[in-house]
Structure 1
Amino acid sequence: WYNPIIQHGEVDFRDPRRDHVHGRIWRLTAKGRPLVKRQDLPKASTARLVNNLSASELWIRRNSRRVLQERPRDTRPQTLQALANRLAELGTAGTPANESTSLEILWTHQALNAPAPQLLQRLLSANDPRVRAAACRVAAYWTELAGDTLAARVQDPHPRVRLEAVRAIARRGHDVLPLTMAALAMDRDTSLEYALWLTAWEQRGDWLKKLKTGNRLLHERLADPGRLFVFSSIKDPAVVPAVLDLLGRGELSETDRNRAVSLLADLGGPGQLRIALDMALNDSTPPEQAGNLLDALARTARSRRVKPSGALEGIQALFSSDTPEVQSAAVRCAGLWKLESLRPALQKLASQPGSSSDLRATALDSLSSLGGEASRAQLAKLANQLPTPAGRLQALTSLVTVDPGGAAALLPAVLAKSPRQGNPAGVVAAFLARKDGPALLENSLATKKLAPDHAKLILRTIDGSGRKLPGLVTATRTAGGLKTGPTKLSTQEMKTLVADVTGRGDAGRGELVYRRQKLGCLACHAIGGAGGRVGPDLVSLGASAPLDYIANSLLDPNSKVKENYHSLVVVTKQGKVVTGIKLRQTDNDLVLRDANDREIAVPRKSIDEQVAGSSLMPTGLIENLTRGELIDLIRFLSALGKPGPYAASRRPTARRWRALANTQPARFRLQRTRDGQAAADDSAFTWQPRYATVGGRLPMADLPRLQLRKRSVSVVRCEIEVISSGRLAISVGDSNGLAAWIGTRPLALEPVTTTTLPTGRHRLTIVVDRGIRKQPLNLTIDDATTANARFVTGK
């Protein structure tokens, strides 16, 4: 028999082709190898059962221990003596066999509820980290016997041992934080991170009680990272004064400083937020920290409606900051704090030619946040008068918030000023985020004409919203003179298409189609972890989905939606509409991922209605492809995950990159400095996402090319995460025409370059001399690596 559907995920659970007859579990035996003979364990002697604890078969060891446990209580002395005799035979040599059998004996003592303190102490210091970890778990029930040896395991070289030690100590139930948080000084993975969080959360009652009564001794016994970790885990306003104290001392790492700022925003009151604002305004505060503080203040104003106490107009001093992030954050705060006196300054930033696109958008949003008739008039004027199509559409987007009817009426005229330029997606998304927005937009378009390209972009935004708006879709198609919609093939047409894909499709050409920026596939779908997360990772699509399924998914996205990728449309009590894929739900928030790959938290108490939406993949996305391009694209997708060139390598490979955009400020900065400046955090640089091919190669043709006097270069970045330090060997194959930096430290590239990095994330910057380098980049982590490291993926 043959099952055309061989997995659970890619194809709908209710697909009629699923096999409901044959089983999925198979029992295999090796040729020429006899089966293990089963012992009659209940009839075996105590000595035989104890000797079985050294058997190679897990079933024999486990069930021998079980039989010893279930024997009558009056046989316990005989069993314990047999265990002691076996230990004496083994001796204290730290060989793998000895330690494994000793652990089985310890487990038997535990099953018999007969503590063995000396054996426990010895195994807590065993050579094998698996044995040490298992001993820690036993010590969780015999904590009084483990003593200082268990505490030392919190900083054991092996992460599993640290994990078990933390949770073992946590079972003591009192005064455990100083001991367990010592693990923060070591490398930690997500499991250990959760164990530490859980320990802090379990201790919150006693710990907070002492903190609130002025007993600071408990938290002062923790090092700063441990203290901040506990604060973050507990999230109680009582910790805010201590957080401010940590921030004020300026001794935190960048990661811990950002965590402290987030805590302050989440928990601080007006007076405490005032202290944070004063820190941001202080000239001695580093720009990055000032920007983080202001972002946190803006976030708390938006989510909790709380702002700093006292006069706030001093924020205007940062409107002229040399750091774009600080400048934008300050402008954003001015609007959220309703600082009417700063309206002229905000209008100037929104209208002056020298403002960057991001700064102009922020200033326009702040004018919208101020509200009132003045904002409506100013934004409408800017929507008509700003010199660029992008600027006019930004102003119109901000106008939607304060005057949706006026913005809807203006949209056709604003688009008509530049029929071949400007993307109305932002404006349309603003309308779709309102309960009354689609109707206003539909009425506005009912009697107007749109350029076909503008109509297509509007339809793409509507499709990506996941909302079912047939009236607005019809009005948009009519206004733009468009006739097409979702393509539905007959059975014969589908058979012909599948035959063409099999016979004429070229996966190599199809990958080039897939990677086109205008098509936007990589913005929503990852391959091997590199790319967007709005849709499923396609790394194994071809190995798990039939050709007709892939074709239907492209032609009519709503006909085939993978489980857990149906959208959810949420309407709030304020009339706001949020659409996205449901990620998680907490006691307070519903978290969605929208079509732009952003996580949006909607307070549950503000939700008025939830309805199931459609796929976030736009209908008609492939309308502009020729039939040959469509055939090649399907062929490429059908090859993903199958053995061959389109199966992603298991070797750690750099797949997510950032490329330096070819802008005048970037060229000027590199011409006036040196190539190494590209490795710095420089406001003159704009970075764009780029992704490697399925084979792991980053084509030169995909990279922006910067002309620097007599040579041209491309600059790219990727990130390496080191989980446990050691030797890191990076393979680049041919290093000709490449210069590299780890952080801001030069790195001499060879075909295989060896270096040592501490734990954490490290940025690798590469400058490519385009006059020398023609072949793609292909970076992998070589087998000579001893560190636990990986390339960072994602969007």
Structure 2
Amino acid sequence: MLNRRLTCVILQLTIVLSLVTTLPVEAADPPSAVGSMLTLLKSGRVPEQRLGAIVKLICDRGNEHDLKFIFDQIVEDGNWPTDLRSSSLQQLSDASTTRNLSPAGDLSAITSLIGSNEESIRTTSIQLAGQWKVASAFDALRKIATNEKTQPDLRTSSLSAMAKISPEKTNSLLKDLAENGKSFNQRSMAIQVLALIDVESAATLASQALKVADQRDNPAAILDGFLDQENGSVVLAKAIEATPPAADTAKLALRHMFSIGRTDPELSAVLSKIAGIAGDPKPPTKEELAALVKEVNEQGDAVRGEAVFRRQDLSCMKCHAVSKAGGQIGPDLSAIGASSPIEYVVMSVLDPDQDIKEAYTTRVVITTRGRIHQGLVADRTANALVLRDATGKETSIPIEDIDDEVEGKSLMPKGLVKFMTHAEFIDLAKFLSMLGKPGDYAVRSTQRMQRWRVLTDVPQGLIEEVPTLSTFEDLVLRASTWESAYSRVNGDLPLNELVEKTSQPVVYVQGELKVATGGKIEARLNSVEGVTLWIDDELIEADKEFEVELEAGLHQVSLRLDTELRQSDVLNLEFHRPSGSKAEFAVVDGQ
């Protein structure tokens, strides 16, 4: 009996094993470098404040299956808070950019994120749809790109994503928009993207669009499309030479090229000729340099020179900081006058390539797809090279995508003096030669606000009256339309520049104060006329000198300035530590 039962059990096991061996077996996921982190994340035991760091680690080092788990959590609305979903999407985008790695499996769910009401999620999802080439997202992207009510940057991103997914299907749409767009901006947007997939056709359409542009139309987007392509500037130069734009349009195009550190010779030469601007000047002889130095010393005016330095069309402050406020691409010029002879200052403006310090030598990279990237090396890893361009924008390029890399020149454009009169050049050199010397242009020694932000799109209600607390929080503290503004070397912020920028007599500006150790802090204003002041969300009864008690942390200092009520046309704000206070603090500088 026992033998009979044993025989039956063995027979049953044999049948089961035979069935198992005939079933399809799924391949195991490849080993993961972040397996333990993923297991911890799946357990649900990670504190919310640590989730972001864990997700970043997984996206930085995980494989495609690890990334798929992250993507699935983002798609399932409600699993993670909005901020984490948004930052995690950006981490997935970084993984795609730096490691050419996408989540495994079906990624069509990205379409649901493209329709998100959260702007940050929607923006990154549009980019990812293109990076991952998700074909099922094409129609959703097309709806965004062709909707005239959609923000221009989202339309451009959608068109770029469509071009990556299906260049053939996107080509005809781009050509139609480039020819028949209702505005110059619409045509520019289409031409910029078309240059990625059909540079010859894009160049022809670009020359036609530029020919009918007026002096209020900005050609920057069109130029960027070609400057990003290998030989793109050469192709555009030929098209423009055959169908030239107006002189003012050519001048605007040149200014944009110079503002981003590009002096592509063929395009620069054609535009200079059309604009009626002389070619790059020859370096001065020893005798000519001595005469220039003498003229700077005797006739140069530093006040006028600072105004030249601050001009937007010259873009000096996009790259250089003075008193620690301004661009972070080129060297800080706060002490250049005290540390360098005038001959060096003059030649640095005339010929920026003559003496480039190693830290400011650019790299020019051509990718396997024919894209050109130029900038300073911000970071280099085994996986990616990060370049920072003249505007401060950083671009990450996968090492395996680099076809060629060569040493470039200075990001400061050669020939900048073409946009100045001789007198302006002399004044600029005088200003630079005074920086760091005792007096009005000495290196800053107090906690004086130099870097500001100005609110550029101000609702009419904020112009007409001082906002309530809730309105201030919603429309000022949470506003996204802030742009950088910088004080002069002496700390004076020219209000006329802000009025011109915003086209309003009432302006909102904001600076930041970082407090390391809390305590009493004294603030000093040059004038309180027309001023309403908040620190964070608290309205402050401000006098020319007043004290506040601040805790450790980063604090926003916001001001509403009614320029029609002010006699002073500048704003100056300094912070000091009162006697007996233990507060430690510093104004936030930079770009």
What's the TM-score bracket when you normalise by the shorter of the two chains?
A: 0.7 to 0.9
* AA aligned opposite 2:34: P
Give the conservation status (yes or no) of the 8 Å contact 1:738–1:767.
yes
Distance between the aligned counterparts of 2:40 and 2:586, measured in 1?
Answer: 33
Query: Matched residues in 2 for 1:568 and 1:247: separation?
Result: 45
Q: 1:434 matched to which residue of 2? A: 229
Shift of 1:534: 1.9
Question: Equivalences for 1:184-583 in 2 at 5 Å?
Answer: 236-241=33-38, 244=41, 251-252=48-49, 259-284=53-78, 286-309=81-104, 311-460=106-255, 469-478=264-273, 482-583=277-378
2: distance between equivalents of 1:299 and 1:583?
Answer: 16
Cα pair distance change 1:601/1:335, threshold 3 Å: closer
Match of 1:738 among 531, 538, 543: 531
Q: Residues 569, 377 of structure 1: CA spacing in aligned structure 2 closer, same or farther, 3 A cutoff? A: same
Could you tell me how far apart the structure 2 residues matched to 1:296 and 1:659 are?
A: 30
1:494 partner letter:
L
Contact map agreement 2:100 2:398 (CA 8 A) in 1: no
Q: Pick which of 334-343 and 282-291 moved more.
A: 282-291
**SS where residue 506 of structure 2 aligns?**
strand
Displacement after TM superposition at 1:712 (Å): 4.9
**DSSP 3-state at the match of 2:330:** coil
> Structure 1 residues 337, 744: closer, same or farther in 2, change over 3 A?
farther
Deviation at 1:481, TM superposition (A): 5.3
The alpha-carbon deviation at position 375 of structure 1 amounts to 1.3
Matched residue SS, 1:703: helix
Deviations 1:380-427 (A, max 9, x none): 222222222223222211112222222223221121231424333343
How far residue 511 of structure 1 moved from its aligned partner, in angstroms, is 1.3
Aligned to 1:590: 385
Note if contact 2:334-2:436 (Cα within 8 Å) is conserved in structure 1.
yes
**Does the 8 Å CA contact 1:669/1:684 hold for their aligned counterparts?**
no
**Is the deviation greater in 785-794 or in 474-483?**
474-483
CA deviations 1:572-615 (Å, max 9, x no partner) are 34433221123443444333321221233333444333322222
Go from structure 1 to structure 2 and tell me whether the alpha carbon gap of 1:733 and 1:493 turns closer, same or farther (over 3 Å shift).
same
Other structure's SS at 2:523 match: strand
In the alignment, the residues of structure 1 paired with residue 45 and residue 184 of structure 2 have an alpha-carbon distance, to the nearest angstrom, of 45
Which of 538, 548, 560 is the aligned partner of 1:767? 560
Please identify which structure carries the higher strand content: 2
Cα separation, partners in 2 of 1:247 and 1:716, compared to 1, 3 Å: farther
Equivalent position to 1:782, from 563, 570, 576: 576
Question: In the TM superposition, what is the alpha-carbon distance from 1:458 to its structure 2 partner?
Answer: 4.2
Contact 2:211 2:243 in 1 (8 A): no
Q: Is the 8 A contact 1:679 1:741 kept in 2?
A: no
Measure how far apart 1:278 and its partner are: 4.5
The one-letter amino acid of 1:348's match is K
- Tell me, yes or no, if structure 1 residue 720 matches structure 2 residue 517: no
Matches for 1:642-661 after TM superposition, within 5 Å: 642-661=437-456
Give distance in 1, aligned partners of 2:575 and 2:51.
31
Match of 1:758 in 2: 552
The TM-score with structure 2 as length reference comes to 0.83
Distance in 2, matches of 1:468 and 1:522, equals 18
Cα gap change, 1:766 to 1:274, in 2 (>3 Å):
farther
Task: State the superposition RMSD in angstroms.
Answer: 3.3
- Tell me, in whole angstroms, the C-alpha distance in 2 between the residues paired with 1:675 and 1:756: 22
1:659 Cα deviation from its structure 2 partner: 0.3
Q: Deviations over 1:125-145 (max 9, x none)?
A: xxxxxxxxxxxxxxxxxxxxx
Aligned to 1:749: 542
Shift of 1:768: 2.0
Show CA shifts across 1:67-111 (max 9, x none).
Answer: xxxxxxxxxxxxxxxxxxxxxxxxxxxxxxxxxxxxxxxxxxxxx
Q: Which amino acid aligns with 2:590?
A: G
Distance 1:700 1:465, change over 3 A: closer
- Seen in structure 2, the aligned counterparts of structure 1 residues 716 and 374 have a Cα distance that, compared at 3 Å, is same
Measured at CA, do residues 786 and 688 of structure 1 come closer, stay the same or move farther in structure 2, by a change above 3 Å?
A: same
Structure 2: how far apart are the matches of 1:582 and 1:490? 34
SS at match of 1:623: helix
**For residues 259 and 501 of structure 2, what CA distance do their matches in structure 1 show?**
34
Cα offset for 1:684?
A: 5.7
For residues 8-19 of structure 1, the aligned pairs below 5 Å read none
How many Å separate the matches in 1 of 2:162 and 2:567? 49
| Cα distance in 1, alignment partners of residues 140 and 277 from structure 2 | 43
Q: How does 1:636-647 map onto structure 2 within 5 Å?
A: 636-647=431-442
Structure with max Cα Rg: 1
Normalised by the length of structure 1, the TM-score is: 0.63
User: C-alpha distance in 2, partners of 1:583/1:615?
Assistant: 15
State the alpha-carbon separation in 2 of the partners of residues 673 and 767 from structure 1: 8
Measured at CA, do residues 597 and 591 of structure 1 come closer, stay the same or move farther in structure 2, by a change above 3 Å?
same
Q: Is the 8 A contact 1:452 1:482 kept in 2?
A: no
> How far did 1:543 drift?
0.8
Deviation at residue 271 of structure 1 after TM alignment: 4.4
Aligned residue identity for 1:344: D
The count of residues paired between Structure 1 and Structure 2 equals 553
Can you give the 5+ residue segments of structure 2 that lack an aligned partner in the other structure? 1-31
Residue 758 to residue 483, structure 1, CA distance change in 2 (3 Å): closer
The 8 Å contact of residues 547 and 638 in structure 1, kept in 2 or not, is answered as: yes
Q: 1:715 offset after TM fit, Å? A: 0.8
Alignment of 1:29-108 (within 5 A): none
User: 1-side partners of 2:383 and 2:109: how far apart?
Assistant: 34
Deviation at 1:261, TM superposition (A): 4.6
Measure the CA separation in 1 of the matches of 2:340 and 2:404: 35
- The amino acid that maps onto 1:714 is V
Code of the residue aligned with 2:429 in structure 1: it is I
In 2, distance between residues paired with 1:350 and 1:249?
A: 39
1:686 paired residue number: 481
Matches of 1:450 and 1:338, distance apart in 2: 37
TM-superposed CA distance for 1:648, in Å, is 2.7
1:791 equivalenced with 2:584 (yes/no): no
Provide the C-alpha distance between the structure 2 equivalents of 1:739 and 1:251, rounded to a whole number of angstroms: 38
Matches within 5 A, 1:173-188: none
Q: 1: CA distance between counterparts of 2:107 and 2:400?
A: 30
Q: CA deviation at 1:646?
A: 0.6
- Flag the structure with more relative contact order, 1 or 2, with Cα contacts below 8 A and sequence separation at least 6: 2
1:468 and 1:630 map into 2 onto residues whose CA distance is 20
Alignment CA distance shift 1:726-1:306 (3 Å): same
Q: Aligned partners of 1:707, 1:649: CA distance in 2, in Å?
A: 29
Between the aligned partners of 1:429 and 1:505, the Cα distance in structure 2 is 36
2:99–2:384 CA contact under 8 A, matched in 1: no
Letter in 2 for 1:621: L
In 2, Cα distance between equivalents of 1:503 and 1:258: 60
Shift of the 629–591 alpha-carbon distance from structure 1 to 2, 3 Å rule, reads: same
Amino acid corresponding to residue 359 of structure 1 in structure 2? L
**1:475-511 deviations in Å (ceiling 9; x for gaps):** 4445555443235334444333323322222211221
CA gap of 1:688–1:504, structure 2 versus 1, over 3 A, is: same
On the 8 A contact 2:98/2:397 being kept in 1, the answer is no
Deviation at 1:686, TM superposition (A): 0.8
Q: 1:487 to 1:748 in 2, by over 3 A?
A: farther
Sort the Cα spacing of 1:247 and 1:626 in 2 relative to 1 into closer, same or farther, 3 A: farther
- CA displacement at 1:279 relative to structure 2: 4.3
How far did 1:466 drift?
Answer: 6.3
Letter in 2 for 1:777: L
Deviates more, 1:257-266 or 1:668-677: 668-677
Q: Following the alignment from structure 1 to structure 2, what is the Cα–Cα distance between the partners of residues 705 and 460?
A: 20
